[in-house]
Amino acid sequence: MSIFRKLFGGGTAGDETAAAGSGDTETVRKIAARLEALPPERARYVAAFAYVLSRVAHADFEISDDESRAMEGIVRERGGLPEDQALLVVEIAKAQSRLFGGTENFLVTREFAGLAGDEERRELLDCLFAVAAAEGGISAAEDAQVRQIASELGFTHQQFVDARRAWSHERNVLKGMVPPPD
């Protein structure tokens, strides 16, 4: 069972009991409880969205304060959450990315792809570049992670290149060579 399904619904009562005994902390349960007001499908969407953002932020194995703030703003705006809930969702996503990134990355991205429409997936791609650029430039590791996510979301290479074009001026490898868009 996906960690987000455990945190945000979709499991059975037996799953919740098992989760409580399998290392979930009281803090995580309290944070998840703060989002119970959201419909389960919306909570899963927002959780998966935030987690996929955290993949890019964690591409260099560290999530900076600038990246965290960018994620919080994006989750607040795109998820329609109040500031405190956006902060909690981002903290959960960052923790899960650090703890389970290797095993959860593809699964959560695939779940997001199943929950999102074409326009929502395209918006996520733009948000991924925004998180990557939050520290003043998009590193090669971040660019590669966005490319991997784009592939997992079903984008063609050309669609990825088209989306990245708007962010080319932020790519460290091209800094100073590509003017910002008008």
Taking the C-alpha atoms of residue 163 and residue 82, their distance in angstroms, rounded to an integer, is: 28
Structure tokens at 108: 């959560």
Taking the C-alpha atoms of residue 45 and residue 166, their distance in angstroms, rounded to an integer, is: 26
- pLDDT tens, residue by residue, 90-124: 998 898 888 887 888 898 899 899 999 999 999 99
- In which band, very low, low, confident or very high, does the pLDDT at 171 lie, cut at 50, 70 and 90? confident
Q: H helices then E strands: how many in the chain?
A: 9, 0
Instruction: State the sign of the Cα–Cα–Cα–Cα dihedral 146, 148, 152, 157.
Output: positive
Round the average pLDDT of the chain to a whole number and report it.
80
Sorted by sequence, the CB contacts under 8 Å of residue 20 that are 6+ apart come out as 29
- In which band, very low, low, confident or very high, does the pLDDT at 179 lie, cut at 50, 70 and 90? low
Taking the C-alpha atoms of residue 145 and residue 103, their distance in angstroms, rounded to an integer, is: 15
Domains of the chain, CATH where assigned: 39-174 (1.10.3680.10)
Query: Over 50: is that where the pLDDT of 1 sits?
Result: no
What is the per-residue pLDDT for 169? 83
Taking the C-alpha atoms of residue 93 and residue 144, their distance in angstroms, rounded to an integer, is: 20
Structure tokens at 95: 């923790």
Of residues 48 and 1, more confidence is placed in 48
What is the per-residue pLDDT for 18? 36
For the ranges 29-43, 76-90, 135-149, 165-179, the maximum mean pLDDT occurs at 135-149
Of residues 136 and 23, more confidence is placed in 136
Residue 138: beta bridge partners? Answer: 171
| Contact (CB, 8 A) for 116 and 124 | yes
Full DSSP string of 24-92: --HHHHHHHHHTTTS-HHHHHHHHHHHHHHHHHHTTTS---HHHHHHHHHHHHHHHT--HHHHHHHHHH
- The most distant pair of C-alpha atoms in the chain lies apart, rounded to whole Å, by 57
Taking the C-alpha atoms of residue 24 and residue 3, their distance in angstroms, rounded to an integer, is: 10
- In which band, very low, low, confident or very high, does the pLDDT at 158 lie, cut at 50, 70 and 90? very high
- pLDDT tens, residue by residue, 52-99: 999 999 999 999 999 999 999 999 999 888 898 899 899 988 988 888
What is the per-residue pLDDT for 103? 80
